[in-house]
Structure 1
Amino acid sequence: MIISKERGFTLVEVLVSSFVFSIIVLGVSGLFVQVIGNQRRAVAAQEIQENGLFILELMSREIRVSQIVDSDQIPAGDSSNCTLTRLAIRHPVNGTVIYSIGNGLLLRTASGTTTELSSSAISFSRLNFCLLGSGPTDQQQTRVTILAASQNKTGKEILTVNLQTTVSSRDVQTEI
């Protein structure tokens, strides 16, 4: 009986263990890359949503206490099919305010001054208004639905977020 005192791994054992280790490393690094991509996508979506919701809230506050004056584009005063791309309101403090979209920016015009409401990081591809109850004889409370679509300008992947809100407009001057 010959007993070998040499200890160690054979070449086949070293190759098999190296192969298994490299497969595990590739799987873990692929998973890591995917998690980083998902995190970047989530941050971009959150930024778009935060900017969009901030702007919609700002518009809603002004519309809520204002009177709708933009009915020149609609014969009966209502636009339930959401084709209006600009909205003019008469605010009790700020006077006539016009909301519109231009070159991907959400614009607010008041007292002859146009202000960009949207951040430079996002662009708006859609801004529509639905008017209901704005006719002089319909006996309904005026409701404005704002439909907007915004997307990020930078990043590997362009994400689009659709936003919608409905505001009940009330003329505060008639309540005073």
Structure 2
Amino acid sequence: MKRIGSESQRGATLLVALVMLVLLTLMVSSAFTLSTTNLKAVNNMQMREEATAAANSAIELVISSAFATSPTAQEIDVDMNNNGTADYTVNVAEPQCVSYTLAESASASSVTLGVMSDKTWDTLWDIQATVNDAATGTNVTMRQGVLVRLSDAQKINLCS
């Protein structure tokens, strides 16, 4: 028994299956590309956050020292994961005295005791830290202002 029209439909199932396979392959490859792009974006954000934390750590280290007595540029190695090797090198520029104002006067008891024999100044310092990581291409610059109280002689030497 011979089917009517079977000659004209020979291979149609194969063609439909191939088209569906091509569409499925395109969907999978686009999903893979999207996931790879998202992974790269998240990695870039993580590297930037780590570099920012390293810059902040170096700035805090400078601020906790007596930087205002002799401000100098520094290169500080920061170990973010505490494994004993430096993960980032932070270049801290020489702290700059930006402005100064006369400090509020001392209380009456301090003046009577002779504690405040000299004028004191509230000085505002700008500290800038830059992280350039060649391995990841991360480049971050952080700035921090800090208020330091100085004597009149220190202010004249450092903030002129």
Same fold (TM over 0.5): yes
Q: Displacement, 1:128? A: 1.8
Superposed counterparts of 1:7-156, under 5 Å: 10-64=9-63, 67-68=66-67, 84-86=73-75, 100-101=76-77, 106=78, 117-119=79-81, 123-124=87-88, 126-134=89-97, 141-150=124-133
Q: 2:113 matched to which residue of 1?
A: none
Percent sequence identity over aligned pairs: 7
Richer in helix (by share): 2
Distance 1:150 1:159, change over 3 A: same
* Equivalences for residues 155-170 of structure 1 within 5 A: 159-170=136-147
Question: What is the alpha-carbon distance in structure 2 between the residues aligned to residue 14 and residue 55 of structure 1?
Answer: 61
Question: What are the superposed Cα offsets for residues 8-35 of structure 1, whole Å, 9 maximum, x if unpaired?
Answer: x823312321221122112111112112
RMSD, aligned CA: 3.9
Q: How many residues align?
A: 125
Aligned-partner residue type, residue 148 of structure 1: V
Q: Distance in 2 between matches of 1:43 and 1:70?
A: 42
Q: Following the alignment from structure 2 to structure 1, what is the Cα–Cα distance between the partners of residues 148 and 25? A: 64
Distance 2:150 2:60 in 1: 15
Structure 1 residues 133 and 53: alpha-carbon distance in aligned structure 2, compared to 1, 3 A threshold: closer
Q: Greater shift after overlay, 54-63 or 27-36?
A: 54-63
- Structure 1 residues 49, 32: closer, same or farther in 2, change over 3 A? same
Unaligned residue ranges in structure 2 (runs of 5+): 99-120, 152-160
Q: TM-score, normalised by structure 1?
A: 0.52
User: Does the Cα contact within 8 Å between 1:142 and 1:169 map onto a contact in 2?
Assistant: yes
Which residue identity is paired with 1:123? D
Which deviations, in whole Å up to 9, do the C-alpha atoms of 1:34-91 show, x marking residues without a partner?
A: 12212221232232223222233333345456542685xxxxx67xxxxx452xxxxx
